[in-house]
């Protein structure tokens, strides 16, 4: 028969084991945290460890600012809820990245002074993270470089970068609608898309949804009483992830190759129905996108602005890859069949267009380039942004000239400004 004294001894011993274990863990956690803090102080950095390794991309060869830029990009990754479009970045002020109170990336590096002569043109630019400028400093995003190119032609461009990480074309159209509703009308609206609409369909098995839509549904339901277990699990996970011991162990596992590096764009295998017919699914992505194109064109007719649409390049269309780019393409090979099918569907659609080209396909723009361009399977380095900006600038200049000619014809004045003889 077990005596009460024996039970008490067992409870005491168990408590001692648990207590000593907890004490040792707290000492280990405190020691690692203190060592990390001292290390940051000695190195002159108070920032968390840099997990984004894209600063090693060969397009940054010789650029001493690259690593510091990605540390700043990591700190700038703070989002805030924004009605209708889900989110925009919080205001951020840094050396290479600046975001204003409206969540918009700065494009003022090449803004001409007020005293400078030239025709003023207001341009709104829409897109995802590539357009926002992931991988580039403020002055070298596509919208900023577009301002630089247009100034060379004597224009006074006022460019607003409405790009945001993860945005699909429908979120961009809604962003434009909100601007028009509030009385902000552009002269030209530019849309630079392809990757996010494609990836969202691959990720979720249906075209036309925002990225990670399943997360939004989960978040919406978290307040229900039935979700209390899920809420507790999320809290526990966040606490565990914040422990210095866990972060150190994770870092060691990644260095040893036992744990994969985190990717900047999460991916998972497509649903079975999408996997069975990538060609059909790719066609649905294109149909959804072209529907948005028609909506914007209709808005342009009513609000009197021109619109230009671009289907963006990816690493899968570049023929001459550097060693770094080959590695990045290999990392994204799971996406290659679906991207290929979607981009082929877009090419077929563009060939069938009647009454003028709705979208300009820029996917082959880097096909013959041998220099490093990509930092991952779709984000560009600054040299790639320059090529895109020069291409778009040329289209803008032609659009402005065509508009001037149309106005001249309507008023009886030719494009040179002379009165036309009847």
Please report the pLDDT score of residue 19 as a whole number: 76
Question: Is residue 351 in a domain?
Answer: yes
Closest CA to 198 of 365, 295, 79, 317: 317
Question: Is residue 129 in a domain?
Answer: yes
Average pLDDT, the chain: 84
Question: Is residue 247 in a domain?
Answer: no
Residue pLDDT, tens place only, 217-228: 887 877 766 666
Which tokens go with 339?
A: 């991207």
**Residue 158: C-alpha distances to residues 60, 125, 189, 245, 406 (Å):** 29, 11, 12, 49, 23
Question: Is residue 231 in a domain?
Answer: no
Question: What is the mean pLDDT of the segment spanning 280-292?
Answer: 92
Please report the pLDDT score of residue 196 as a whole number: 97
Residue pLDDT, tens place only, 237-249: 666 666 667 666 7
Residue pLDDT, tens place only, 79-89: 999 999 999 99
Stated pTM of the model? 0.81
Please report the pLDDT score of residue 239 as a whole number: 67
Residue 192 near residue 145, CB atoms below 8 Å: no
Question: What is the mean pLDDT of the segment spanning 301-313?
Answer: 97
82 & 24 share domain: no
**Residue 276: C-alpha distances to residues 199, 202, 273, 346 (Å):** 17, 12, 5, 20
Most confident range, picked from 140-144, 153-157, 249-253: 140-144
Residue pLDDT, tens place only, 226-281: 666 765 666 666 666 666 676 667 666 656 666 555 544 444 444 444 443 566 88
Percent of the chain, pLDDT > 90?
Answer: 59
Which tokens go with 38?
A: 């001292």
Question: What is the mean pLDDT of the segment spanning 364-373?
Answer: 96
pLDDT at 197 over 60: yes
Indicate if the alpha-carbon torsion angle 8, 12, 14, 18 is positive or negative.
positive
Distance CA 317, CA 321 (A): 10
Question: What is the mean pLDDT of the segment spanning 190-195?
Answer: 98
27 & 59 share domain: no
Question: What is the mean pLDDT of the segment spanning 391-420?
Answer: 73
CATH classification of the domain holding 406: 3.40.50.1110
Count of domains observed in the chain = 2
Question: What is the mean pLDDT of the segment spanning 112-125?
Answer: 82
SS3 for the chain is CCCHHHHHHHHHHHHHHHHHHHHHHHHHHHHHHHHHHHHHHHHCCCCCCCCCCHHHCHHHCCCCCHHHHHHHHHHCCCEEEECCCEEEECCEECCCCEECCCCCECCCCCCCCCCCCCEEEEEEEEECHHHHCCCCCHHHCHHHHHHHHHHHCCEEEEEEECCCCCCCHHHHHHHHHHHHHCCCCCCEEEEEECHHHHHHHHHHCCCCCCCCHHHHHHHHHCCCHHHHHHHHHHHHHHHHHHCHHHHHHHHHHHHHCCCCCCCCCCCCCCCHHHHHCHHHHHHHHHHHHHHHHHHHHHHHHHHCCEEEEEECCCHHHCCCCCHHHHHHHHHCHHHHHHHHHHHHHHHHHHHHCCCCCCCEECCCCCCCCCCCCECCCCCECHHHHHHHHHHHHHHHHHHHHHHHHHHHHHHCECCCCCECCC
Lowest mean pLDDT among 16-30, 96-110, 329-343, 361-375: 16-30
Distance CA 195, CA 314 (A): 8
Question: Is residue 302 in a domain?
Answer: yes
Domain that holds residue 116: 54-212+266-411
Question: If pLDDT is split at 50, 70 and 90, which confidence band does 318 have?
Answer: very high
CB atoms near residue 237 (< 10 Å): 10
Lowest mean pLDDT among 91-95, 245-249, 317-321, 371-375: 245-249
pLDDT at 357 over 70: yes
116 & 31 share domain: no
Please report the pLDDT score of residue 118 as a whole number: 74
Question: Is residue 174 in a domain?
Answer: yes
Please report the pLDDT score of residue 418 as a whole number: 39
Question: If pLDDT is split at 50, 70 and 90, which confidence band does 14 have?
Answer: confident
205 & 330 share domain: yes
144 & 287 share domain: yes
pLDDT at 419 over 50: no
Question: What is the mean pLDDT of the segment spanning 331-348?
Answer: 94
5 & 123 share domain: no
345 & 366 share domain: yes
pLDDT at 375 over 80: yes
pLDDT at 173 over 50: yes
């Amino acid at each position: 028969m077990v005596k009460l004294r024996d039970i008490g001894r067992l409870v005491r011993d168990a408590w001692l084991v648990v207590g000593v274990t907890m004490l040792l863990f707290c000492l280990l956690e405190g020691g690692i945290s203190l060592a990390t803090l001292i290390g940051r102080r000695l190195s002159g950095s108070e920032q968390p460890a840099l997990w984004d390794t894209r600063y090693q991309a060969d397009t940054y060869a010789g650029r001493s600012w690259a690593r510091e830029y990605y540390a700043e990009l990591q700190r700038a990754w703070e989002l805030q809820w924004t009605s209708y479009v889900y989110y925009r970045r919080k205001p951020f002020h840094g050396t290479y990245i600046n975001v204003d109170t409206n969540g918009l990336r700065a494009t003022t590096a090449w803004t001409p002074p007020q005293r400078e002569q030239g025709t003023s043109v207001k341009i709104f630019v829409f897109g995802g993270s590539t357009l926002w400028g992931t991988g580039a400093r403020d002055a070298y995003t596509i919208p900023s470089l577009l301002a630089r190119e247009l100034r060379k032609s004597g224009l006074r461009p006022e460019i607003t970068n409405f790009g945001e990480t993860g945005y699909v074309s429908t979120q961009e159209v809604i962003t434009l609608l909100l601007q028009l509703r509030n009385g902000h009308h552009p002269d030209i609206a530019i849309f630079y898309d392809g990757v996010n609409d494609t990836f969202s369909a691959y990720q979720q098995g249906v075209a036309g949804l925002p990225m990670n839509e399943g997360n939004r549904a989960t978040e919406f339901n978290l307040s229900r009483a039935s979700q209390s277990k899920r809420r507790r699990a999320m809290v526990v996970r966040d606490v565990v992830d914040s422990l210095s011991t866990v972060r150190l162990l994770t870092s060691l596992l990644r260095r040893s190759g036992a744990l994969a590096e985190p990717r900047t764009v999460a991916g998972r295998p497509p649903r079975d129905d999408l996997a069975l017919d990538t060609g059909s699914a790719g066609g649905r992505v294109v149909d959804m996108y072209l529907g948005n194109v028609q909506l914007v064109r209709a808005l342009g007719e009513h609000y009197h602005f021109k619109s230009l649409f671009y289907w963006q390049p990816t690493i899968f269309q570049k023929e001459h890859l550097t060693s770094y780019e080959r590695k990045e393409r290999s990392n994204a090979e799971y996406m290659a069949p679906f991207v290929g099918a979607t981009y082929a569907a877009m090419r077929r659609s563009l060939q069938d267009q009647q009454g003028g080209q709705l979208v300009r396909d820029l996917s082959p723009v880097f096909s013959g380039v041998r220099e490093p361009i990509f930092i991952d399977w779709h984000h560009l380095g600054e040299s790639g942004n320059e090529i895109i900006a020069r291409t778009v600038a040329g289209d803008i200049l032609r659009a402005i000239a065509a508009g001037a000619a149309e106005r001249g014809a309507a008023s009886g004045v030719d494009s040179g400004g002379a009165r036309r003889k009847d």
